[in-house]
Chains A and B, each alone.
Chain A
Amino acid sequence: MPLIRRDPSGASAPKLEGDAVTQLSDANPDVRWKAARALGKQPDAVPALAAALHTETLPQVREAIFTSLVLIRTDASARAAAEFVRSEDAALRSGALDALAAMPDVVERILSSLLQDADSDVRILSCDLARTVPGDVATRLLGALLQAEAEPNVCGAAVEVLAEVGTADAIGPLTACKARFPGEAFLGFAIDDAIERVGAERLDMNG
């Protein structure tokens, strides 16, 4: 029998030596990866993790940093991740969204302010996060956005999410939004679709 059993317990566990925060900027990517992972239980490491995201270029280390922000799971760690939703770097924007989606309870607390961000790109991407919160909360927050939002692309993003998770309470804001943008064919198409979906849900629930 050529297959040989070997006791795996002798395998060496790599140890993190020294200060993980300092090691976030080490020249060796393995050290940076381990440092990023080691900080996942330290709320006071949030500023250091956020700073590291500004300089880190290696995708897997970025991923590990975002995961540590997820594991810390405070308003501060969520806001630190949310800052990268406005990054010039599309990969960081995606990474930030994935991280925020993994902490829905915290997102629920900061979503309202994200949806009012001055940057319309941030508002668009934040709509997507509403998918992770309960349907009635998403309906309330996105419904409020639809009443006032000036940018049709942002409305489109909100409508998309409402079609997926919204309740029948979204019908009013959806209808009003359609009336505000008579020239936007795609938005009208999306709103009709969303109304049909959230409306069908109401009929089904009662019937």
Chain B
Amino acid sequence: MQKVELEANSSGVKKSWWLILLLIASLIAPLFLTEFYLTVLCEALVMSMLALSFNLLFGYMGQLSFGQAAFYGLGGYAVAMLMTKVHFNFWLSIVAGVLVASIIGLIVGFFCVRLRGIYFAVLTLAFGQLIFFIVFKWHNFTGGDDGIQGIFPPEFLKSPTNYYYFLLIIFLLSAWVLWKIIHSPFGQTIVSMRENSERTEFLGINIAKYQLITFVIAAAIAGLAGAIWVPFYRSVAPSYLTWIKSGEPVMAAILGGPGLFFGPVLGMFIMTFFHSWVLGFTIYWPVVMGALILVVIFFLPGGILGFIQEKINQRKEIRNRE
């Protein structure tokens, strides 16, 4: 038993070297990137938070949400409306954005968690579109299809570089919180629900309750992502809440690998950077993206990170045998 633990510890140190490397790279990135690519990097970080929140539901709890962008958009709209209409403080607006997303998440989740599989997915899609249409049509209150412009962060966050570091901190904190949750007894419970919900219920777990808690956590993180993105982009539009936007974390998770914590982050980085690069020479970006997804689904069913992990494990096994 002790031997097993020791092995786990040493591989933990070995495993984290690339994380440290990535952290250093992300700290010095603004020195090397043009403002355009720094903006792309910011977007990748924020969208990665959305992807991580989605994957808590999809990869860990095993339910496909097709309405995750609704919470992202709600977080963004809450910040935009509070800051422009009642001149609310920036920080408090972000807190309010998270709260709004969580409360709506609680209401939507209340209905969705009673269902599983495709019915869960369709109901999240329906609620997502419902929220989108309310925002889109309620012109007097939300600005309708014009969206809301002129949302500014505090003075010291106005430079893209400073805002980038702010986003990085929030991203790292969110990722850390999600990481802790996934490895906690609560996380073990939702993974067990994914693996066999009947068995788990017959161990004394109220499935709907745990699904609802997970749903609200995911909505809160998505709301936080929207809330911190809008002041950087200075505007918000109804397109943030559409099911097309909700499809992005789905694709990112499949691309990067939903079975690994950082899979959706890798997927979202690839998508965001690829997007801005491909757009430079063709407007048919969805075609390119579609082809990429096809290749991954057929040849790398565990996603790109899943594939890398598998190769590393195979090499380790060969080394162990020798």
Do these two chains interact? no
Q: Which residues of B contact A (CB under 8 A)?
A: none
Q: Which residues of A contact B (CB under 8 A)?
A: none
